[in-house]
Structure 1
Amino acid sequence: MEKWILLGMGPVFVLLIGLEAWYWRRRRPDAYSLVDTLSNAGLALMHQAADAVAWALVLGLYYAVYQYRVFDWPATWWSIAALFVLQDFLYYFFHRASHRVRWLWASHVTHHSSERLNLSTAFRQSLTYPISGMWVFWLPLAWLGFAPAHIVAVVAINLGFQFFVHTQAVGRLGWLEHVINTPSTHRVHHARNPRYIDRNYAGVLVIWDRLFGTYVPEDDAEPCQYGIVGQVHGHNPITLTFHEWIAMLRDARRAGSLRAALGQLVCPPERALSHPARKPAVAPAVADADALGAGLESAEV
């Protein structure tokens, strides 16, 4: 169902991308790049194929959990509204964990790897999300008594909404900045400026960022610089999908001990042995202790 909802919105997405590219054509010719946009499209197709297979495999698990539900929700507008808020709440923690736990970041980094931010960037997704375990975060909703079909639909609506915040063509939106995820809020999230990194995890509602202290407003005095630390300068969808998985497994292999290797899988990205900010040479004993500490730190997410 998620795939069909997003595919149904596909023509609208493509039309808006075309309009945005036309809007920027004379104002900022560098806002769009043909090779970057084609790369985003390729990643989207790969992601949709993997997502369809993943839902086919895990939907049965959702129904199994649903059999042990603690509540029975009637099919009413207010129950769907409750599901929408609860799913958005869980999305916040999924998104935050995707920046602070390397195993999840290995999938999510693909989305952040473009040095441009435009509507086509929303298509820049990884086919490895099912491997990293995105679907696990919505399982509690089935246990709470929400029908799996409704869960999948709400997840799709949440992700569909986020397409519209991947733009630099819309400024601040007044009081809405205090309630929902906006283009301004999401521009900060995609920026690699030190003060903007790992901020503004909102899916639809920004209240979770404000409640948990992760909200930072866009500052005109510090324009957003897009991309990732240790930028991948290329457009090959395979490289963009797997470069962090390869680096993570390589770091785990050379970590020096099983404990340190596990630490490299769950540490925050900046604690990775291959992170550009780390010193070139790290003594094995130090690496072991550092990776273990990083693994414990990630439990705070």
Structure 2
Amino acid sequence: MLDDLVGKILDKISGTSLLATGLLLLTAFVSALVAYWRTVEEKSWKEFFEFVIPHEVITHPSAKADLLFWVTKKALMPFLMLPAGIVFVTAVGYGTNWLFSTLFQFQPPLIEGPAGPVTVLIFTVSMLLAYDISYYLYHVAQHRYPLLWELHKVHHSAEVMVGITKDRVHPLDELMNRAWDGLIVGLCFGIWSLISLNLVELTVFGVNVYVMRNILMMDFVRHTHFKISFGPLNNLILCPHWHQLHHSTDPRHYDKNFGLLFSFWDRLFGTLCVPRPDEDFKFGLVDRDVRDYQSLAGLYVMPLKRMWGHIARSIRPGKSRSRTSRSSEGTRP
């Protein structure tokens, strides 16, 4: 049973093929072309590349920090996050399967053999929704609770967006996010494993639906300066421009647009903010020590120190805060 659950999860997350990578790069290139075409009147290839890779952006300390952070994370932790996600989802899924089958005294799965197309479609949609609401809830918590916010500030400390800014996430934050996914997604997967162990998600032209999700949400593109909107589809899918508003330092934009793929969670819970067409944003934090986040030490170590500061103050609530402690909490963009 456990081997089957692990196998299904591995199947689900194994869409990192060359075709998928090519589609992601193609999406980024087309998005750059669209943004350039809508923005610049006199067009040329030279102007296009200057638009896509502005000198003031790629030479910014924040962009350099992004590159160093991305390289070190890829070099030091290539096997940490994926196995962690598998472990959490598998553990909850297996526990859910065991609990329900034991309580109701039946032997899963209820459906023998391959599932029909309707079952596969419902399974795929339900898993996508489970991942998306899981992300939304954790993202809201990151902005609401000081301990989580200290980690999440790493992501919001980017003052320019260069695509790989999407990976500007503290390793502990990423690990905790996967643990949280294990609760909701693992529960959903565990319930489905009671019905059928032969379920596989839909594919589009042979590409796993989760890879298609990553392409649709344009995670790389929405962490750039390309103001891409999906028009009427914005009511369903959170477009890059709407996510860029989430990184804005304007107080009107604080705690808005938390969604990953779907925009209706923000509409449902009252956290949606629709930007004006072609609205520009200033990115980053408004902390007095924001520059401390533009180094590897600031990105890796400082959040842990500040988390410990919150913990120490909660243990000694009577002790007055220093000026440094107060400034370390920062302002939520």
TM normalised by structure 2 equals 0.65
From 211, 226, 233, give the equivalent of 1:169: 226
Higher mean Cα deviation, 211-220 or 195-204? Answer: 211-220
Identical amino acids, percent of aligned pairs:
18
The separation in 2 between residues aligned to 1:86 and 1:12, in whole angstroms, is 24
Structure 1 residues 226 and 252: alpha-carbon distance in aligned structure 2, compared to 1, 3 A threshold: same
From 52, 56, 68, give the equivalent of 1:30: 56
Cα deviation code 1:105-155 (max 9, x no counterpart)? 23322222210123221122221135535422442333341459979x877
| Equivalent residues of 1:165, 1:186 under 8 A apart | yes
The separation in 1 between residues aligned to 2:47 and 2:224, in whole angstroms, is 12
Is residue 71 of structure 2 the alignment partner of residue 42 of structure 1? Answer: yes
SS of the residue corresponding to residue 274 of structure 1 reads helix
The separation in 2 between residues aligned to 1:167 and 1:125, in whole angstroms, is 16
The separation in 2 between residues aligned to 1:136 and 1:260, in whole angstroms, is 32
From 70, 89, 92, give the equivalent of 2:136: 92
**What's the offset of the Cα at 1:13?**
5.0
Structure 1 residues 247 and 159: alpha-carbon distance in aligned structure 2, compared to 1, 3 A threshold: farther
Structure 1 residue runs of 5 or longer lacking an equivalent are 265-270, 278-301
Tell me the equivalent position of 2:257: 200
Is residue 154 of structure 2 the alignment partner of residue 77 of structure 1? Answer: no
The separation in 2 between residues aligned to 1:97 and 1:72, in whole angstroms, is 37
Tell me the equivalent position of 2:269: 212
Is residue 328 of structure 2 the alignment partner of residue 274 of structure 1? Answer: yes
The separation in 1 between residues aligned to 2:80 and 2:234, in whole angstroms, is 34
User: Match for 1:100: what amino acid?
Assistant: R
SS of the residue corresponding to residue 238 of structure 2 reads coil
| Equivalent residues of 1:168, 1:183 under 8 A apart | no
**What's the offset of the Cα at 1:224?**
1.2
Structure 1 residues 81 and 131: alpha-carbon distance in aligned structure 2, compared to 1, 3 A threshold: closer
The separation in 1 between residues aligned to 2:50 and 2:29, in whole angstroms, is 14
Select the structure with the greater relative contact order (CA < 8 A; seq sep ≥ 6). Answer: 2
Tell me the equivalent position of 1:223: 280
The separation in 2 between residues aligned to 1:10 and 1:44, in whole angstroms, is 19
Structure 2 residue runs of 5 or longer lacking an equivalent are 1-9, 34-45, 102-108, 202-207
Residue correspondence of structure 1 range 136-285 to structure 2 within 5 A: 136-144=180-188, 145-147=191-193, 161=217, 162-219=219-276, 223-230=280-287, 231-253=290-312, 255=313, 257=315, 274-276=328-330
Structure 1 residues 202 and 23: alpha-carbon distance in aligned structure 2, compared to 1, 3 A threshold: farther
- The alignment covers a number of residue pairs equal to 267
The separation in 1 between residues aligned to 2:80 and 2:227, in whole angstroms, is 32
The separation in 2 between residues aligned to 1:187 and 1:69, in whole angstroms, is 42
The separation in 1 between residues aligned to 2:17 and 2:150, in whole angstroms, is 25
Tell me the equivalent position of 2:160: 116
Structure 1 residues 133 and 260: alpha-carbon distance in aligned structure 2, compared to 1, 3 A threshold: farther
User: Match for 1:31: what amino acid?
Assistant: V
| Equivalent residues of 1:181, 1:204 under 8 A apart | yes
From 65, 75, 94, give the equivalent of 2:95: 65
The separation in 1 between residues aligned to 2:67 and 2:26, in whole angstroms, is 15
The separation in 1 between residues aligned to 2:233 and 2:147, in whole angstroms, is 33
From 63, 78, 82, give the equivalent of 1:52: 82
**What's the offset of the Cα at 1:17?**
6.6
From 172, 189, 206, give the equivalent of 1:128: 172
**What's the offset of the Cα at 1:203?**
0.7
Tell me the equivalent position of 2:205: none
TM normalised by structure 1 equals 0.70
